[in-house]
Chain A
Amino acid sequence: MIWVDTIVQGILLGGLYALFAAGLSLVFGIMRLVNLAHGDLIVLAAYLLLVIVTMLGLHPFVAALVATPIMFAVGYGLQRHVLNRVIGPDILPPLLVTFGLSVVIQNALQEGFSADSRRMPAGSLETASLPIGPVTVGVMPLLTLFTAIGVILALQWLFYRTSLGRAFRATSDDPVTASLMGIKPQRVFAQATGIAMIVVTIAALYLGTRSNFDPSIGPARLIYAFEAVIIGGLGSLWGTLAGGIIIGVAQTLGAAINPEWQILAGHLAFLLVLLVRPRGLFPRATD
Chain B
Amino acid sequence: MRAHSYTVSTRTRTSTYAAIVAVCLVIAAAILPAFADRGLIQDLFFIFTMLVLAQFWNLLAGYGGLVSVGQQAFVGFGAYMLFGAVILAGWNPIAALLLSGVGAFVLAIPTAFFAFRLQGAYFAIGTWVVAEVVRLIVAQWRAVGGGTGTSLPRDARDAMWGVEWIETVFDVRASAARDILAYWLALALVVATIGGIYWLLRTKRGLALAAVRDNMEAAQSVGVDAARMKWAVFLIAAFGTGLAGGLIFLQNGRISPDGAFSVIDWTAFVIFIVVIGGIGTIEGPIIGVLVFFALQTLFADYGSWYLIVLGLTGIVIMLFAPRGLWGLISDKSGIQLFPIRRRLSGVERAGPSSSSMEE
- CB atoms of B319 and A92 under 8 A apart: no
Residues of B within 8 A of A226 (CB): 122, 125, 129
The contact of B304 among A86, A95, A108, A260, by CB within 8 Å, is A108
Q: Are B311 and A100 in contact (CB under 8 A)?
A: yes
Return chain B residues, CB-CB under 8 Å to A111: 304-305, 308
Residues in A whose Cβ lies below 8 Å from that of B69:
36, 99
Give the nearest-CB partner of A268 in chain B: B133
Q: How far is B126's CA from A223's CA once the two chains are assembled, in angstroms?
A: 9
**Does A117 sit at the interface, judged by CB under 8 A?**
no
Q: How far is the CA of A219 from the CA of B271 in the complex (A)?
A: 16
Pairwise interchain contact A108-B137, C-beta atoms closer than 8 A: no
Residues of chain A contacted by B133 (CB below 8 angstroms): 264, 267-268, 271
Q: Is the CB of A264 within 8 A of B124?
A: no
B80 within 8 Å of A (CB atoms)? no
B96 at the interface (CB under 8 A from A): no
* Chain A residues within 8 Å of B305, by CB: 107, 111
Which residue of the partner chain B has the closest CB to A93? B318
- For window 295-314 of chain B, which residues contact chain A by CB distance below 8 Å? 303-305, 307-308, 310-312, 314
Considering only residues 326-354 of chain B, those with a C-beta below 8 Å from chain A are none
**Bound state CA distance, A270 and B308, in angstroms?**
32
Check: B236 CB closer than 8 A to any chain A CB: no
> Does A82 have its Cβ within 8 Å of any Cβ on chain B?
yes
**B275 close to A (CB within 8 Å):** yes
- Residues of chain B lying within 8 A (CB to CB) of residue A214: none
User: Which stretch of B112-120, B167-175, B244-252 is in the interface?
Assistant: B112-120
Beta-carbon contact of B314 and A96 below 8 Å: yes
Q: Which residues of B contact A106 (CB under 8 A)?
A: 307
B263–A104 CB distance below 8 A? no
- On whether A99 and B319 interact (CB within 8 A), knowing A227-B129, A264-B137, A271-B133, the answer reads no
- Expressed in whole angstroms, the minimum distance between the Cβ of A113 and any Cβ of chain B is 11
CA of A82 to CA of B271, assembled, Å: 19
Interface centre among B117, B125, B308, B310 (most CB of A within 10 A): B125
**CB of A239 within 8 Å of the partner chain:** no
Chain A positions 93 through 116: 1 when the CB is less than 8 Å from some CB of chain B, otherwise 0: 111110111111011101100000
Q: Quick check: is A222 within 8 A (CB to CB) of the other chain?
A: yes
Q: How far is the CA of A239 from the CA of B314 in the complex (A)?
A: 34
| A window 268-283: CB within 8 A of B | 268, 270-271, 274-275, 278
- The answer to whether A101 touches B125, judged by C-beta atoms less than 8 angstroms apart, is no
B177 at the interface (CB under 8 A from A): no
Whether B120 contacts A91 by the Cβ 8 Å rule is yes
Interface positions, chain A 94-142, Cβ under 8 Å from B, are 94-97, 99-104, 106-108, 110-111
- The reply to whether the CB of A67 lies closer than 8 angstroms to some CB of chain B is no
Contact B314 A91 (CB under 8 A): no
Complex contact A267–B129 (CB within 8 A): yes
CB-contacts of B156-209 with A (<8 A): none
B-contacting residues, A244-287, CB 8 Å: 260, 263-264, 267-268, 270-271, 274-275, 278
Residues of A within 8 A of B312 (CB): 100, 104
Q: Which residue of A lies closest to B302 (CB)?
A: A111
Contact (Cβ within 8 A) B122 A95:
no
Task: Name the contact of B318 in the complex, choosing from A34, A86, A260, A274 (C-beta under 8 A).
Answer: A86
Decide yes or no: A271 and B319 within 8 Å by CB, A34-B121, A92-B279, A100-B312 being known contacts. no
Q: Which residues of A contact B129 (CB under 8 A)?
A: 223, 226-227, 267, 270-271
Q: Which residues of B contact A97 (CB under 8 A)?
A: 314-315, 318-319
- B136, B140, B315: the one contacting A104 at CB < 8 Å is B315
Instruction: Judge if A187 is at the interface, Cβ distance under 8 Å.
Output: no
Expressed in whole angstroms, the minimum distance between the Cβ of A232 and any Cβ of chain B is: 13
Cβ-defined contact, B124 with A95, below 8 A: yes
- Structural contact, B318 and A100, CB atoms closer than 8 A: yes
Q: How far is the CA of A271 from the CA of B137 in the complex (A)?
A: 14
Within 8 A of B (CB), among A36-86: 36, 82, 85-86
A197 and B275 CA atoms in complex are apart in Å by: 28
B233: interface (CB < 8 Å): no
Are the C-beta atoms of A271 and B114 separated by less than 8 Å? Answer: yes
CB neighbours (8 Å) of B322 from chain A are 92-93
Whether A82 pairs with B319 at a CB distance below 8 angstroms is yes
Give B51-106 interface residues, CB cut-off 8 Å to A: 61, 65, 67, 69
A260→B117 CA distance, assembly (Å): 28
Q: A82-B319, A260-B140, A268-B133 are in contact. Are A36 and B125 (CB under 8 A)?
A: yes
Whether B308 and A108, one on each chain, are in contact in the complex, defined by CB atoms closer than 8 angstroms, is: yes
Residue A230 is within 8 A (CB to CB) of chain B in the complex: yes
Bound CA–CA A260/B271 (angstroms)? 31
> Could you say which residues of chain A place their CB within 8 Å of the CB of B137?
264
Chain B residues near A96 (CB-CB < 8 A): 271, 275, 314-315, 318
Residues in A with CB closer than 8 Å to B314 are 96-97, 99-100, 103
B121, A91: Cβ atoms closer than 8 Å: yes
Contact of A107 among B122, B128, B304, B315 (CB under 8 A): B304
Known A-B contacts A95-B67, A99-B69, A230-B118; A219 and B304 likewise in contact (beta carbons under 8 Å)? no
Evaluate contact between A274 and B114: CB separation under 8 angstroms: yes
Known: A103-B307, A222-B125. A86 touches B319 (CB 8 A): yes
Contacts of B272 in A (CB 8 A): 100
Residues of the B chain whose Cβ atoms lie less than 8 Å from the Cβ of A36? 69, 121, 124-125
> Which listed residue (B61, B304, B307) contacts A92, Cβ 8 A?
B61
Q: List 20 A-B contacts (CB under 8 A).
A: A32-B120, A34-B120, A34-B121, A34-B122, A91-B120, A91-B121, A95-B120, A97-B314, A97-B318, A101-B311, A103-B268, A103-B310, A104-B315, A107-B308, A110-B304, A223-B129, A230-B118, A260-B140, A264-B133, A274-B114
Binding site for B on A (CB under 8 A): 32-34, 36, 82, 85-86, 91-97, 99-104, 106-108, 110-111, 219, 222-223, 226-227, 230, 260, 263-264, 267-268, 270-271, 274-275, 278
Identify the 4 closest CB pairs spanning chains A and B, nearest first: A34-B121, A103-B311, A104-B311, A107-B304
